[in-house]
Chains A and B, each alone.
Chain A
Amino acid sequence: MSGQFLHNLLLFGRVLRRLGLDINPGRMMDLVSALDHIEIGQKFDFFFAARTLLVHDREDLALFDEAFELFWRKPTESWDVEWQGLTRRRKRSGPVVTPPPLKEEPPQNDDSTSSSGQELSIIEVTRTYSDRELLRHKNFAEMSAEESEAVKQMMSHLLWNVSERKTRRHRIGKGHRLIDMRRTLRQSLRSEGEIINWSYREPKSKPRPLIVIADISGSMERYTRLLLHFIYGMKAALRQPVEAFVFSTRLTRITRPLQIRDLDLALKNVGLLVHDWAGGTRIGESLKTFNFEWARRVLGRGAVVLIISDGWDRGDVDLLKREMARLKRNCFSLIWLNPLLGAPDYEPLTRGIQAALPNIDHFLPVHNLASLEDLAVRLSDLNGSRNSVGGAKKSKHEGRQVHKDGNSFMP
Chain B
Amino acid sequence: MNFTSIDQLQSAMHEQRYIAERGLATSLYLALKLHRPLFLEGEAGVGKTEVAKIMASLLDTELIRLQCYEGLDVHHAVYEWNYTRQMMHIRLLEASGEKAKESELFGPEFLLRRPLLQAIEQSREKPPVLLIDELDRSDEEFEAFLLEVLSDFQITIPEIGTIKTSNPPVVVITSNRTREVHDALKRRCLYYWIDYPSFEKELEIVRTQLPEAPAQLARQITGFIQALREMDLYKLPGVAETLDWTTALVALDQKALDPIIVDETLGAILKYQDDVEKVKGDQARLILERIKAGVD
User: Which residues of A does B touch, CB under 8 Å?
Assistant: 22, 24, 27, 30, 33-34, 37-38, 44-45, 48-49, 51-53, 55-58, 61, 167-170, 181-182, 185-186, 188-189, 192-193, 291-292, 296-298, 300-301
Contact = CB atoms under 8 A, between A and B. Distances in A.
B284 to A, nearest CB: 21
B255 interface: no
B260 interface: no
A56 B30 contact: no
Contacts of B177: 58, 296-297
B71 A169 contact: yes
B50 interface: no
6 contacts: A37-B29, A37-B30, A37-B33, A52-B27, A182-B83, A186-B102
Given A185-B83, A192-B99, A297-B177, A34 B187 contact: no
Given A182-B83, A193-B93, 6 more contacts: A30-B36, A37-B30, A38-B26, A170-B71, A185-B105, A193-B87
Nearest to A300: B178
A301 B178 CA distance: 11
B26 A56 contact: no
Nearest to A193: B90
B81 A56 contact: no
Contact of B94 (A53, A181, A193): A193
Chain A contact residues, majority secondary structure: helix
Nearest to B80: A182
A181 B30 contact: no
Q: Which 4 A-B pairs have the closest CB atoms?
A: A168-B71, A193-B90, A48-B26, A56-B191
A48 B27 contact: yes
A301 B27 contact: no
B39 interface: yes
A168 B39 CA distance: 25
B141 interface: yes
B22 to A, nearest CB: 6
B86 interface: yes
B90 A169 contact: no
Contact of A168 (B70, B91, B105): B70
Residue from A49, A56, A192 having most chain B Cβ neighbours under 10 A: A56
Interface in B27-41: 27, 29-30, 33-34, 36, 39, 41
Given A193-B94, A292-B234, A297 B86 contact: no
Contacts of A296: 177-178
A45 B6 contact: yes
Interface in B93-149: 93-94, 99-100, 102, 105, 139, 141
